[in-house]
Structure 1
């Protein structure tokens, strides 16, 4: 059993299967690269995104740096039942190839929604339904489906991670969809933690990161006060590098001392 810095490593006790959504860029890509040196070398990564080219490129990087790691990817729109089913099928295939001792599901995929609109402007039912399908229904159905094909059994540890935000706890003007989606996801996974005591559940807020999503936020937010605050953060150079926040999340999983179901922020 691997010992790191005097503490027990939860991620290296045996082969891991990690299902990572939103894996092709930004925080998801950094997570994939940060996980590889920390998990058992005979582990497997299932990378999920809508961008095939970026997934192929990331697969090549991982195979070059970590040749023992099994890497698979799925190009899928997780806002659809077909995308969820394709991801679950791919995970089932990996189950037959790897002696999985730890399942790690990281629900990273998500979107801002139309932040150029205030609450009273969100009148299009189809627009709101599509947003919630991708950002709330999708992680629920994907996680529950994966837990069904990896049921509780001796020798199998299961971790579920929800990538969340301070927006799950605080309202931000013109971010109705994003705040609502993140709050719903936090509560959803708190319920999972209450129902399934043996599953380790974590909602992790990675902080304001230097990503494409932040670029959209600081250029399209309808609320002028919020828009200026985001521009100031960017101008001061205080954005977090995705790799730095990814390292903190992997450290939390490795240490395994958080309260299941809790919301942990990068700055905590």
Structure 2
């Protein structure tokens, strides 16, 4: 009798942790590589209609084909080549989503840009403006366009932030400031949109194995050095993987997190509380 009860409780627990995004429309910016790609694939696995967007048509097509294969009902993703810092492209991205699916349930603001912005770099102010334009302005702009549709579905917004919003990354004041702005944007609009039934949260990753440093322009040796340092900055002695972030996104965007809004969720391997800085 006891064994049967334990098995039943175990089965109920397993069932309660299932995430069902069947026919939910999920738009993920910057989803042609890295964390965004992993999120798109996870959503496709969970039955969502996904919108893949980025600047590389080839990468978008590759991710879309992989999502198609992962989708339980072989739902074809919407592919949109767009530069979301361009207002016309941003409008086209939202309108294409609505034209294709007729709704929007989850907006994931993942696209981001990072470059060295050291106070000793004479071009740091110019670089700072580029970082803010994508990481902050484009995120806000796309969110404002999406709100009317999210209100109809009682959907939600997830902003991909960073541990760098809370812990300095030496030589990257632009990126750190941008992510701190996103955290505050998350909190403020969560208060405004809550009465409309829209939840807003951010996820703050630490070091994750992506092309982050390569995109910045670091050579292979520099990438290895930085990744090793990031491992040391975590009490767990490791970096995260894109799937780790996708797993948390799946929870936060689901009904299991229906009481969560205005939260900034760290997933950084403990780096925030490490005595080591995030860069040397």
| Whole-Å separation in 2 of the counterparts to 1:53 and 1:108 | 19
From 50, 57, 60, the counterpart of 2:55: 50
Instruction: Give the SS at the match of 1:264.
Output: strand
TM-score (norm 2): 0.78
More helix by share: 2
- Of Structure 1 and Structure 2, which has the larger fraction of its residues in strand? 1
**Counterpart in 2 of 1:68?**
74
Q: Any stretches of 5+ residues in structure 2 without a counterpart?
A: 1-11, 271-280
Aligned residues: 248
Alignment deviations for residues 193-242 of structure 1 (CA, whole Å, 9 cap, x no partner): 0111121111002331111104457948xxx9xx9664333589722121
Q: Which residue of 2 aligns with 1:128?
A: 128
Question: What is the Cα-based RMSD across aligned positions, in Å?
Answer: 2.9
Distance 2:93 2:258 in 1: 29
Q: 1:169 deviation in Å?
A: 1.2
- Residues 252 and 258, structure 1, Cα contact 8 Å, conserved in 2: no
Cα distance in 2 between the residues matched to 1:218 and 1:19 = 28
Whether 1:189 aligns to 2:181 is no
Residue correspondence of structure 1 range 198-217 to structure 2 within 5 A: 198-215=197-214
- The answer as to 2:250 corresponding to 1:263 is no
Whether contact under 8 Å (2:105, 2:150) holds in the other structure is no
Specify the alignment match of 1:27 in structure 2: 35
1:89 to 70, 95, 98: 95
Offset from partner CA, 1:153-197 (integer Å, 9 cap, x none): 4xx221100001111112222111100110111111211101111
In the other structure, the counterpart of 1:145 is: 145
CA distance in structure 1 between the aligned counterparts of 2:257 and 2:206, rounded to whole angstroms: 20
Write the distance in 1 (CA, Å) between the matches of 2:79 and 2:87. Answer: 17
Shift of the 110–174 alpha-carbon distance from structure 1 to 2, 3 Å rule, reads same
Normalization by structure 1: what TM-score?
Answer: 0.81
CA distance in 1, matches of 2:134, 2:176: 14
1-structure distance, mates of 2:98, 2:228: 44
- SS of the residue aligned with 2:129? helix
Q: In the superposition, relative to structure 1, how do residues 124 and 37 fare at CA in structure 2: closer, same or farther (>3 Å)?
A: closer
Instruction: Give the corresponding residue for 1:105.
Output: 107
Instruction: Tell me which residue corresponds to 2:274.
Output: none
Tell me which stretches of 4 or more aligned residues in structure 1 moved more than 6 Å: none
